[in-house]
Chain A
Amino acid sequence: SQTIHQWPATLVQPVGSPLSLECTVEGTSNPNLYWYRQAAGRGLQLLFYSVGIGQISSEVPQNLSASRPQDRQFILSSKKLLLSDSGFYLCAWSDGGGTREQFFGPGTRLTVL
C-alpha cells in the first residue's frame, strides 16, 4: 500500500532563516506531487505541483520554492522566511495515471517568529 511521509511535524523558525520541508511517498511510482498551505482558519492553497522529476509548476508567486530531486521526493524551501509563511503545510500525491483523488501527508506546522 502507498504511504506518504512529511517531516518535521512541527517547526518554529525565526524570520529570515531558511526552510526545508521534505515529503516522500512509498508504494507508487511516478506520482503527481503537490504542496499546499493551510493558514489558520482558512482553506487550502495550492503552492506547487510536479508531474515528474525536475518538473515544478508554481501556482502563486511567493517566497517559497520547490524541488523534486527523486521520483518520490518533494522538497519545499525558502531562503528567508517571512512572518506570513506561518501555516500548516501539506504534501499530497495522486496517481499520474488519473485516478484523480489526492492522498495527503500528516502535515508540518510551521511557526515563524
Chain B
Amino acid sequence: DTEVTQTPKHLVMGMTNKKSLKCEQHMGHRAMYWYKQKAKKPPELMFVYSYEKLSINESVPSRFSPECPNSSLLNLHLHALQPEDSALYLCASSQEEGSSYNEQFFGPGTRLTVL
C-alpha cells in the first residue's frame, strides 16, 4: 500500500470558521509533511513531523496548527484564515526525514477556498 489519503477533497470556509484537514498513511513512514501549493507554482513546505514530533515549521502563521496524533495520521487545523490562504494543501510521507533516499509520497490534496 503506497497510498496517502486526504480528506476532504474540497473545502469551502469562511474567515471565521474552524476546520481541519486530515491525512493518513499506512506505509509505516515516520515522517509526514504539509505543503501549500498555489496555482501553477511548486509545492511550498509548511510543516514536517518526524516520529510524531514537529521538526520543521517554515514560519507558517499561527492560524495553521498541525497535529500528529499517531504515526499514521496528520491533521492541519485551520482557524481565522484569509482569502489568500486559498490553495491546494498537500500531505506527503516518507520513510524518515532527511534520509538520503527521501522519497516522498503525496496525497491527492485538499482544495481549500476561503471566502
Q: Tell whether A pairs with B.
A: no
